[in-house]
Amino acid sequence: MAPFLEAAARAGKVSHSGLVRVYDAALEPGPRRSADVAFLIREWVEGEPLDEHLLRVGELAAPDAADVLRQVADALTAAHAGGLAHGRLHPGNVLVTAAGRVRLTDAAVAAAVHGAPIPEQLDALAVQADTRDAGAVLYALLTRHWPGGSTPQPAGRLLVSPRAHGRALAPHQVRAGVPR
């Protein structure tokens, strides 16, 4: 559980309006010698995960998708500037508020819980992985599909994109009207 606690502590040091704040995390001994219990206290955000949002409202027009992607990129840029990679960006931890604002949750913490090592310092590979996953978010915004195989992150409730020759189809091949 040490990586979880370290990830939570590092995430708590980064502040940005697009990142859900981590306030505290701890590891408590389990009752009667059972496994320890880890907990995380974070900011409450009134919103819905991106996959649920897209299933409810449908895919977005290109300008609206670009605005959401800009918000995701701004939050990731702030995390990276603070030395933190998200590490597990997917539709379930991109929250959309009623006002259309985007908040990223679980920065570094979800990756640690799923066994990803937390590097001492942010490296180019971690930034590339976050950038790849942000591109997958854009794909989802435009098509309501997750480009499985293009990213190891889970699709949530979204369908995995159709594939040809081992690759996800281009967004304009999945949904008519998406600009190239």
Model's pTM, two decimal places? 0.92
Q: Using pLDDT thresholds of 50, 70 and 90, give the confidence band for residue 1.
A: low
Report which of 117, 71, 116 is spatially closest to residue 94, judged by C-alpha positions: 71
Give the number of other CB atoms < 10 A from CB of residue 91: 24
* pLDDT over 70 at 154, yes or no: yes
Does residue 112 or residue 36 have the better pLDDT?
Answer: 112
* Residue 68 and residue 6 in contact, taking contact as beta carbons nearer than 8 Å: no
Cα–Cα distance for residue pair 159/18, rounded to 1 Å? 26
CA atoms of 20 and 11, how far apart (whole Å): 9
Percentage of the chain lying above the pLDDT 70 cut: 99
Under the banding of pLDDT at 50, 70 and 90, the label for residue 43 is very high
